[in-house]
Amino acid sequence: MKLCVVGGGKMAEALVGGLIATRWAQADEIGIIEVVAERRAYLAKTFPGAKIVESCLAACESTEFDVSDVLVAVKPQHVAEIALELGGGG
């Protein structure tokens, strides 16, 4: 995995789409953590092959995720919580 993106909103969608379009990575080399089920379904259709999970804990527990290279694309009020979850392994 080249990159793990925390957050699956519009900003993340644009960034992931750009990385794929410029061939920096293929969809199957990108992981996305998104809490909203409808958004996960949309991202799975938009980026076939991307690894998409519902929480930082699920990503940390997964053998398919590498949370060492993380791009945080969440609202500012959620950054501290995300950092604690990833830093503590969930």
Among 2-11, 47-56, 58-67, whose mean pLDDT is lowest? 58-67
Query: What residues does each domain of the chain span?
Result: 3-87
pLDDT of residue 88: 66
Instruction: State which CATH number among 3.30.450.20, 1.10.10.10, 3.40.1390.10, 3.40.50.720 fits the domain covering 3-87.
Output: 3.40.50.720
Query: What is the average pLDDT across 51-74?
Result: 91
pLDDT of residue 76: 94
Work out the end-to-end distance of the chain between its first and last CA atoms, rounded to an integer number of angstroms.
19
